[in-house]
Structure 1
Amino acid sequence: MKIALVTGGSRGLGKSMCLHLARKGRDIVLTYREKKAEAMAVAADIETLGRKAVALPLDVSRSADFPAFAQALGQALRETFGREDFDFLVNNAGYGVHAAFEATTEDQFDRMVAVHCKAAFFLTQALLPMIRDGGRVVNVSSGLTRFSYPGYAAYAAAKGAMEVLTRYLAKELGPRRIAVNTLAPGAIATDFGGGQVRDNAEVNAFIAAQTALGRVGQPDDIGGALSLLLDDEAGWINGQRIEVSGGISL
């Protein structure tokens, strides 16, 4: 049975990813930063679907903690799944900063780079010995690397760096037959950015009007796409940026 590790799996897109993967027969390791109760609830939902699940704490902004996390993951794999390795790594955890370019602070910029670029680089590096040959890595980016909305320069720049990293990983991990891709959601109705897309009717209507399919995205739109990308028949997709946005800003 294949095992997926999804960072930031306690809520939003990560939660949907975990549940969709479980419905496809995948066992799940999910991480959380603070919301342990929510993470444990997601793990319980996965088990209700007949799959095994483990929730582990991880702050992806603290790369110094990655070796210790790798040890904890190794123990969880042995104790829960009877394995030393896993199949899929989904670098999903993160959050955004909304600030005009001229008002963005160096601290805000550094946090975006740490969470969205440095984490994908060094967490993948730390866990690479445990990723099974022929496995997959998915880096979760953003539609904002293709189209530009004011206020997201630091966030989008960090995600853009992640997308370049994806192509390099696809090349360098090729000898191990590990496929690496970018999944880029459009605007989704979650609590991201304070829930603006979900809760602000004016913002919701504006985005829907910019989208070919006429609505904002929902978490299950992304969870479903992620499960397809990690399907057994999708292994020849490699080094690609796949946008899941309903056709926004075409």
Structure 2
Amino acid sequence: MTTTPRHENKTALVTGGSRGIGRAISRRLAREGALVAVHYGHDRTAAERTVREIEDDGGRAFPVHAELGVPGDADTLWETFDQALSAQDAQLGLDILVNNAGTNLPRPLQAVTEADYERVFAINTKAPFFIIQRALDRLRDGGRIVNISSVATRVAFPPIAAYTMTKAALDYLTLALAQELGPRGITVNSVAPGYTETEINPTLSIPEIRQRYSEASVFGRLGAPADIADVVSFVASDDARWVTGQWIDASGGVHLGV
């Protein structure tokens, strides 16, 4: 008996798809049969490495470059995507959009400047908004939009208040879009990681903080990027066709107790 990969004949775009959680998502979707556009903003080497890893595993992928958080970023991304996709043996259009790219702002309220605030919102909130807006003519009926949120939107964590606000805004966009796009059979969901082993959180190199974050999960460990990627792959699949407008906790049960 053989099984068909759940994303066979699908085309996916993963923003920030070259490193950390995005890299794991790109590899997971490709392993399930998707042709994956691996978006990157600055690190071309990382994007090429991720594409090579996917190809070495028997999958298909290609890099897409566009700096986010600058004027015209969404248009640049889609123009680059269209050009790169036309070089592939694939039908034009898109089936899965994963808005993963983001930046952190680990500063207390008193230390956040207007420039800090504007930058984190430009990358984490404004860019996904217009990426989705420009994607709607490309996204096929029955498609999937997955926004990467954060478990921090459900708990009080003042040291990253500005960052968390960007993700809370994305959560609302998920809810609104789910209703708007439902008639087209398109699902829209948020997946919320908790403390995860990625380079976006440099404090994990401090043993005391690493231990505290690990102990926050009911499983007593940090999340791995693959833990998040597996959830995204499910939400992006036909198995999740009846799930939309949801905020899905993929944190390993952090802060369930007092």
TM-score normalised by length of structure 2: 0.93
The residue number in structure 2 matching 1:148 is: 156
- Residue in structure 2 matched with residue 57 of structure 1 by the alignment: 65
Q: Which position in structure 2 is the counterpart of 1:99?
A: 107
Instruction: Return 76-85 or 107-116, whichever deviates more.
Output: 76-85
SS for the counterpart of 2:39 is strand
Question: In the alignment, does 2:179 pair up with 1:189?
Answer: no
**Alpha-carbon shift at residue 62 of structure 1 (Å):** 2.0
Report the alpha carbon displacement of residue 207 of structure 1 after superposing the two structures with TM. 1.3
| Aligned position for 1:163 | 171
Q: Quick one: which of 22, 34, 52 aligns to 2:30? A: 22
CA contact (8 A) 1:63 1:122 kept: no
What is the CA-CA distance between 1:152 and the residue it aligns to?
0.4
After superposition, give the CA deviation of every residue in 1:204-248 in whole Å (9 maximum; x if it has no partner). Answer: 111122211111111111112111211221121100000101100
5 Å matches for 1:72-87?
A: 72-87=80-95
Residue 207, structure 1, aligned to residue 207, structure 2? no
Listed as ranges, the gaps of 5+ residues in structure 1 are none
% identity of equivalent residues: 38
- Per the TM alignment, residue 82 of structure 1 is displaced from its structure 2 partner at its CA by 2.8
Give the partner amino acid of 1:105: T
**1:55 Cα offset (Å):** 0.3
Equivalent residue runs for 1:170-249 within 5 Å: 170-193=178-201, 195-197=202-204, 199-249=205-255
Q: Which amino acid aligns with 1:100?
A: P
Deviation at 1:40, TM superposition (A): 0.6
Given the alignment of the two structures, is residue 139 of structure 1 paired with residue 111 of structure 2, yes or no? no
Please name the residue that 2:3 is paired with: none
Amino acid at match of 2:20: G
Task: Look up the SS of the partner of 1:129 in the other structure.
Answer: coil
- Deviation at residue 63 of structure 1 after TM alignment: 4.4
**Runs of 4+ more than 6 Å apart:** none
User: Between Structure 1 and Structure 2, how many residues are aligned?
Assistant: 248
Could you tell me which runs of 5 or more consecutive residues in structure 2 were left unpaired when the two chains were aligned: 1-8
Are the structure 2 counterparts of residues 125 and 63 from structure 1 closer, same or farther at C-alpha, using a change threshold of 3 Å?
Answer: farther
8 Å Cα contact 1:32/1:59 also seen in 2:
yes
